[in-house]
Structure 1
Amino acid sequence: MVTWIKPQEMFHSMPELSLLAWTAMLSAFTAKGHFASAKKTFDSMPERSFVSYNAMLASFVKFRKYDSALNLFQVMPERNLISSTTILTALANGKHLEKAKEVFDGMEERDIVSWNAMLTAYALCSGLEEGRILFDGMPKRNLISWNAMLTAYAQSGHLEESKFLFDTMPFQDLVASNTMLAAYADNGELEKAKSIFDDIQSGDKFSWTTLLVANVNRGELEQANAIFVMTPEHDIVSWTTMLGAYANLGRFQEAIEIFSMIKLVDSPDAPCFLLVLLVCSHAGKASIGRGYFFSMRVDYGIKSTKEHFSCMVDLLGRGGSLGDARDLISSMPYVPESLDYRSFLRSQRDGTTTPIQREARDQFRVDLDVRECDESSSSYVLLSSSLLP
């Protein structure tokens, strides 16, 4: 029978630890996602090589600790192409364009990875002109280079330049197609988005969800529903998109059906519960909404946000449960805002003056912003009418 020994146990059982063993342990911790252990290992090393420095540098980058990566890079006794390219990637992801340019300009040797990292830095920092100059001057390009430049144009809203670059690509992969699809969808070009989608040989979840969202945003609910039905694999984004579409239109039954399906095949998140509370409020389904509100915390362990509480105040007020609405405002773990008082006062018209009404009066007088003049005036009307005998 073979006994499995954990790498840590093997490491600590070694009579003498070599530099190779220390570096291997550091890399293993990084690969397994144990950053604290990787850092502790690096700090405990009696000696280090440029390989161990590069391993720690890669760990900082993997866990998005870009400033720490830069600090380590600056004190490295020696650097090579790997270390320079790694820090260049970190600076690009951290959007430190000027520092990335300094590193890139100071590199004695560059490969396609370092060129792409610098191009990505320009793309992420909206340096379109400089990025295009770099792109045109690259000694060699690969698909990552083309996609980086395409993404830079697309995310900046330069649709014509994006399409021209897309059409001139030597090979269009799914990343490129999805980039163009998202660019057209984000800019309301639904027909062009459909055209790109139809040309995709085999779309992924992002492709289907992007087209779904585009149709919902354009109010094409029937088409959106057809796309939703045809989508081969759903995720929480596609479920939430359809739930939101029905909720915003006040279509209670369809929204509840979607929410029920989410509970069967996935786990609803906080935005899902907010949308279902919203549709319950608009439909006057206080008891159903109350059940969802408690289920969110008890069954799914989701903490109620300020928005959930505000929606519940509105739901209870619309449903005539004024006492419960008042108690919820008083007891919720958030500072009540004018919206909460408006929701309550909209329903409180029985002529009584309660402590919560007096609190609302003071709240409106102190907190209502001049910029919300039109909205505030209606709040004062509600406030005064609720306080009149």
Structure 2
Amino acid sequence: MPEHDLFSVNAVLFAFAENGHLDSAKVVFSKMPARNLVSWTTMLGALSQFADVESTFEEMPEHDVVSCTCAIAAFSRHGHLESSLELFHAMRVRNFSTCTAILSGYVHCGLLKESERFFHDQMPQHDLVSVTTLLVAYTQSQRLEEASCLFDSLPYVDAVCWNAIATGLSQCGLLDETTKILDKMPLSLARKVFQTMPLRSVESFSVMLTAYAQASSPSDVFDSFEEMKIVEMPDDSCFTLVLMASSQVGEPNVGGSYFNSMRLDYGVAARKQHYCCIVDMLGRAGYLHAAEELVQTMPFLPNSWDWTSMLSSSRGDRIWKNGARVTKRALLSGPSDGAALVLLARSS
């Protein structure tokens, strides 16, 4: 077969194998008039999810470090660690991926001591993949102190590494530690990890509510809060976040409903930050007189920030005729703060 034709057939074979079409890959492979090492290695990789990989490896006319590494990984995946080690020691040339495949085999078989020994004594160098593999071993064995130290020593982490440490902590029921990890994660990854957590606490829900609020995603705040109400009792900080989300979407009725439910259904006493959220919500929605009245009647002494916040929530022509009076109150509450004057000047 001409070399360019073999290249094309190998490409088709790889496409079938990569997309999980094993039967089609077998048909293409069986009809190939000629095969090279790439053909065999591609088929070996396709079969690596199944138990008949060993016979395919033995049929190969030649082996290289890539095919051997592929076989080692497949043997380990199916629990044949002895076969993996036998092939590993028989190899004259190994690369970093080969060592990582052996490490994965130890971890897959639950051999923590052997994993540690191989990682420290036989691997010439370490990358994020190998470190994450050992991290999984620590979390599976509930060696969480070692897992945390290893995680903290990393100069950078990827999604797999984040998921390994968070999932391990969560599965051990360590919700406080898991929550701290969630708080450090990128939002998209934190969402995925949070959704797979077998147990969730008020704190972990609060972390996600905060992340959604900071990302200006009020719909996610509402969804997460409603989910939380089914399994946990929201605390005052959670209500603050959902009131902030209500303010973002300019829905006083929604925010008012949460505010009333906080006191009547959950017995959570309204704090000043809850009232401030309602004031901001009313101002954003254009109910400026109601906002002013609430600032005056709430059971807390208003300060300069409260009055200035009300001015800030008003936009353009929404500044009403009493704006100057509100500005004066802000200055009297905190005469050193000129923000109120700036807001009034910009609106005029």
Same fold (TM over 0.5): yes
Tell whether 2:75 aligns with 1:94.
no
C-alpha displacement of 1:51: 2.3
Structure with greater Cα Rg: 2
Tell whether 2:119 aligns with 1:135.
yes
Tell whether 2:130 aligns with 1:145.
yes
Q: Which amino acid aligns with 2:146?
A: E
- Contact map agreement 1:119 1:145 (CA 8 A) in 2: yes
- Contact map agreement 2:44 2:70 (CA 8 A) in 1: yes
Paired with 2:160 and 2:76, the residues of 1 have a C-alpha distance of: 19
- Contact map agreement 2:106 2:112 (CA 8 A) in 1: yes
Change (3 A) 1:223 1:213: farther
Q: Which moved more, 1:81-90 or 1:51-60?
A: 51-60
Change (3 A) 1:170 1:247: closer
Change (3 A) 1:231 1:150: farther
Of 17, 37, 42, which residue of structure 2 is paired with 1:55? Answer: 42
Of 187, 190, 203, which residue of structure 2 is paired with 1:207? Answer: 190
Q: Which moved more, 1:210-219 or 1:98-107?
A: 210-219
Instruction: Give structure 2 stretches of 5+ with no counterpart.
Output: 233-348
C-alpha displacement of 1:118: 1.0
Identity percentage of aligned residues: 29
The CA deviation string for residues 143-202 of structure 1, in whole angstroms up to 9 with x for no partner, is 1111111111112211011112222334333432332222222222222222223333xx
C-alpha displacement of 1:86: 1.0
Aligned to 1:29: 16
- Contact map agreement 1:92 1:121 (CA 8 A) in 2: yes
Aligned to 2:144: 159
Tell whether 2:82 aligns with 1:106.
no
User: Taking CA–CA contacts closer than 8 Å with sequence separation of 6 or more, which of the two structures ends up with the larger relative contact order?
Assistant: 2
Aligned ranges 1:1-389 → 2 under 5 Å? 18-61=5-48, 64-65=49-50, 67-137=51-121, 138-200=123-185, 203-211=186-194, 217-218=200-201, 223=206, 226=209, 230=213
Instruction: Give structure 1 stretches of 5+ with no counterpart.
Output: 1-13, 250-389
C-alpha displacement of 1:241: 9.0
TM-score normalized with structure 2 length: 0.55
- Contact map agreement 1:26 1:42 (CA 8 A) in 2: yes
Change (3 A) 1:241 1:183: farther
Paired with 1:188 and 1:70, the residues of 2 have a C-alpha distance of: 39
Aligned to 1:311: none
Paired with 1:16 and 1:188, the residues of 2 have a C-alpha distance of: 57
- Contact map agreement 2:6 2:35 (CA 8 A) in 1: yes
TM-score normalized with structure 1 length: 0.50
C-alpha displacement of 1:29: 2.8
Paired with 1:217 and 1:20, the residues of 2 have a C-alpha distance of: 52
* Number of corresponding residues: 230
